[in-house]
Structure 1
Amino acid sequence: MTRRYDAVVVGAGFGGMGAAIELKRLGLHDLLILEREDDLGGTWHVNRYPGLAVDIPSSTYSYSFEPNPHWSRLFAPGEELKRYAEHVAVKYGLKPLMRFGVTVTGARWQGEHWEVSAGGEIVTARYLVTATGFLSMPRKPDIAGIDSFRGEVVHTAAWEPCDLTGKRIAVIGTGATAVQLIPELAREASALTVFQRTPIWVSPKPDLPIPPAVRKVFARLPLVQRAVRWLGSSVLELMMISGVVRYKQLRVANRLAELWCRAHLRRQVRDPALRDKLTPDYSFGCRRPTFSNDYFRTFTRPHVHLETSTIDRVDETGIVTADGRTEVDVLVLATGFDLWDTNFPAFEVIGRDGEDLGAWWRQNRFQAYEGVTVPGFPNYLSLNSPYSYSGLSYFTTIECQMTHMRRLFTAMRSRGASTFEITRRANDEFLDRMRTKVKQNTVFSLGQCATARSYYFNQHGEATLLRPTSTASAHRAAASFPVSHYDFSPSPSLCISTTRGAP
């Protein structure tokens, strides 16, 4: 007989690990965590490009229940996030539950359990959790001739160590990843050309090393680090609320953020023509802003060129624009990820009555109740869902969803049930409430976002990624949503295992 798990979690990044930790706390120990990569960590395993670092203070980018006193800097480098992920997996007993190098291609609800197609086999589970991440499908630009280029082509999400000294490098893209990468490439390249379609809002980065003495205090007095975390989270929340969520009421704060970024650019770039090219023409917050102390300054170096002409094509040895041609040895694609076409969901999910989740989302708007559950898909938790991302730290979102899971499973068990499904009425009311808030208050509807080309917007032009409320509101909702919004039912033929298992 096919083994049945309590739950299958797809994704071994911080989202999937957080879900698994919560499921174990709830008494579900027979778990299987499937990961397509060869190790855990999600984006912090896949991304290895030079300059990789967290772009918000490290103290806020971690589980609140598992603080890390050992960050070396205020904005920790990527390898430290990877080590932190390893630490969490070991401490909470998650590694024995993980299978690596397994690609999930589909999942189907079979009346009382999920059948998951993974790595050429079928695994079954009472519950299915998808934690495949928002930024997990690298996007290759649709540029004529790009496959004919005879030099080296590398996407930032598939970076391999290589010697770039003296090379002529071209970078396509100027998002948050490129902001970290470009200054590093400029130190090695003989010539660096950056092809920019959309400039980005960049503010100074208050990045400082954390002295060993301070780290010792954090380790011995966790309350001190919690206070630092609270302070950092409060600053990020203020930025999010004033810049994005409450744009209607706090336009002046949004304008001050723009002026702060413009002043930073003016200090680092004296050439008005170059400065004009690097200045966004969309409102602050329409696209994810970032921090850097050396991004703007890099463009003032003699061997670095900013190209804003549209790319016409790529040929065997270079890039052709309307203004000329650039010879290139290495082509770096900092073109981000495909959220809305190949993600949401990342693989086929078939629910009750043969409903296809991807098709349903595209036909009926992208939606999920409290960013977690979807009507017609019983016992399914979609962590990276529309309206789920709350605040500027991904861990805010993760812990809100963990809280939602705790309340949901506790209510289900108190009723002697083992199957849950959000009602369509509750889901529709939540969707209407979120859409109204986006339309009436946020920068996405009231600001100038037409030229931002932001991944916050789906292919229908709707900003359905971020939850348009404060973090405090999101936490309250996760802890107190009406359990009557769910339908619960027993499934006596398949009881939840209470024994610990391993894949």
Structure 2
Amino acid sequence: MSATTDVAIVGAGFAGLGLAIRLRRQGVDDFVLLERADDVGGTWRDNRYPGVACDVPSHLYSFSFRPAPDWSRVYAPGAEIQHYLRTAVDEEGVTGHLRLGTEMRSARWTGEHWEIDTGRGTWRARVLVLAAGRLTEPRIPDVPGLDDFAGPVLHTARWDPGFDPAGLRVGVVGTGASAAQVIPRLAGRARRLVVLQRTPAWVLPRGDRAYTAAERSRFTRDPAAARRLREDIFDDAEQAVAARRRVRPAIDELRDRAQRHLHAQVGDAGLRARLSPGYEIGCKRIVLSDELYPALDRDDVTLEDTALTGLEPGAAVAASGRRHALDALVLATGFHTTRQPYAERVHGRRGSLARHWSDGMSAYASTAVHGFPNMFVLDGPNASLGHNSAVYMIETQIDYVLGALAHLRATGAPLEVSAAAERAYVRDVDDAARDTVWLRGGCRSWYLDEASGRLTLLWPGSARSFRERNARFDPAPYLGAAQVAPA
């Protein structure tokens, strides 16, 4: 099968679906949405572990152009978010553009268009939009004996819904965001739970609750009330950027709040000490939970405060030398974030995207990459946040891409950002990141590139500053058509 389209979007999570919906609302129909899985939803399709939920309040973690007034809780469960996205596909007329089970195996710029091999046929597209996300490929620890472990081994992003921990001795590797949600659901159900913690997380109160029927009814009847709530949540979140920039007293107040939460929930001084991070708050992802500490304080839960170093028949071995009998293992070990597997499959004018990103992901306006004409990346380099909603950032990038597509339709000439513009943008981001907690907080996190140490995942400022800089397309930083055409 060979087909032609104007715009090929790769990935049907928030970013890809958001762009597809906006195109449909503009009356644009010449696009295709390629999704390797058998359903839409991205993160919220893949993560189905017990307790999975968003850590951004529901009314902010949704499209501004498609509000949902009837969220069940302050922090929506994962299944509810996926339902929101599925409903959007049906009601916005995206279904006919969607190709499920269609993986991008390779994409090459020919000098005139992108040629995309999916294994189920080839698509020729004038424009390629990579909306494949950052949290898609599970990180599996390289520990001896893992492949030979006889019991069930589950990553939180590849959960087996048939797994039943009842009567089993279960180990959980990790104490980050996913672990903090799944540990309380396993504690009390498993015969015994062992949590292997390499590095403790800073934990803040979550304050989740169900919305009352009256609240949901009011938000439905009065869209302005729901809009004001969204704006209030956004404004509150924006204030947290000061702590990430190590501004005082903001960072001291945030740290004190986390320490009070730890003391309030964990009475044993020894356990508190083992749960106290040795790096500055915000350097790694902050966990929001009212349930993690009580779960770790249970008599049937053991906290192993050193890393998993190996597996033996029926047991986990920790860096401390201690061995813990196990029947099943849960890996809450995160994702490959800064080295995206899709980058090896995309080939521009001078080689692969992986080669261009060998010193860390980069893009002008966090969206366009030199050497890759008519290509845009959503939710990629420096396009996420450590304090506010990723959906807000995605919408900013969608506005940029829509402006670029309008320019393409008007001129017909390929669009390739100049190397100088990309370098200048990266310098600005690096300068802004230099004194932030992510680089000066005394930790190594998945926000930083493994090779260069650069902050490549997060925008080092406020969400508003990202939108002020990157929401409007400007053709000035782009090369002329004569400089773009050769393959």
Q: Answer yes or no: same fold by TM over 0.5.
A: yes
Is 1:372 the equivalent of 2:367? yes
Match of 1:407 among 400, 403, 406: 403
* Residue 395 (structure 1) aligns with: 391
The question of whether the paired residues in 2 share the 8 Å contact of 1:387 and 1:464 is answered with yes
**After alignment, is 478-487 or 382-391 more displaced?**
478-487
1:366 is displaced (CA, Å) by 2.3
1:13 is displaced (CA, Å) by 0.6
Structure 2 CA distance for aligned equivalents of residues 132 and 412 of structure 1: 23
The question of whether the paired residues in 2 share the 8 Å contact of 1:61 and 1:395 is answered with yes
The question of whether the paired residues in 2 share the 8 Å contact of 1:412 and 1:488 is answered with no
* Residue 264 (structure 2) aligns with: 267
Matches within 5 A, 1:45-444: 45-161=45-161, 162-239=163-240, 241-244=241-244, 246-247=245-246, 250-321=247-318, 322-341=320-339, 343=340, 345-352=342-349, 354-363=350-359, 365-390=360-385, 392-414=388-410, 416-439=411-434, 441-444=435-438
Give the unaligned 5+ runs of structure 2.
none
1:344 is displaced (CA, Å) by 6.0
* Residue 441 (structure 2) aligns with: 448
SS in 2 for 1:419: coil
1:421 is displaced (CA, Å) by 1.2
Structure 2 CA distance for aligned equivalents of residues 320 and 281 of structure 1: 23
Give the unaligned 5+ runs of structure 1.
494-503
Structure 1 CA distance for aligned equivalents of residues 114 and 442 of structure 2: 40
* Residue 457 (structure 1) aligns with: 448
Deviation string 1:195-216 (CA, Å, 9 cap, x unpaired) is 0001111111111211111111
The question of whether the paired residues in 2 share the 8 Å contact of 1:136 and 1:337 is answered with yes
Q: CA RMSD in A?
A: 1.9
Structure 1 CA distance for aligned equivalents of residues 39 and 274 of structure 2: 40
1:71 is displaced (CA, Å) by 0.6
**After alignment, is 75-84 or 95-104 more displaced?**
95-104
Letter in 1 for 2:2: T
Letter in 2 for 1:268: Q
- Cα gap change, 1:142 to 1:303, in 2 (>3 Å): same
Structure 2 CA distance for aligned equivalents of residues 174 and 309 of structure 1: 11
SS in 2 for 1:362: coil
1:26 is displaced (CA, Å) by 4.7
1:418 is displaced (CA, Å) by 4.4
1:399 is displaced (CA, Å) by 0.5
Structure 2 CA distance for aligned equivalents of residues 114 and 298 of structure 1: 51
* Residue 483 (structure 1) aligns with: 475
* Residue 16 (structure 2) aligns with: 16
The question of whether the paired residues in 2 share the 8 Å contact of 1:26 and 1:409 is answered with no
Deviation string 1:289-323 (CA, Å, 9 cap, x unpaired) is 12111101111110000001333310121112333
1:33 is displaced (CA, Å) by 1.1
Same amino acid, percent of matched pairs: 38
- Cα gap change, 1:113 to 1:25, in 2 (>3 Å): farther
Structure 2 CA distance for aligned equivalents of residues 392 and 409 of structure 1: 28
The question of whether the paired residues in 2 share the 8 Å contact of 1:421 and 1:487 is answered with yes
Structure 1 CA distance for aligned equivalents of residues 342 and 279 of structure 2: 29
1:187 is displaced (CA, Å) by 2.5
1:243 is displaced (CA, Å) by 2.1
Please list every run of at least 4 consecutive aligned residues from structure 1 whose deviation after the TM superposition is greater than 4 angstroms: none
SS in 2 for 1:369: coil
Q: Number of residues paired by the alignment? A: 480
- Cα gap change, 1:35 to 1:412, in 2 (>3 Å): closer
Structure 2 CA distance for aligned equivalents of residues 215 and 192 of structure 1: 37
SS in 1 for 2:107: strand
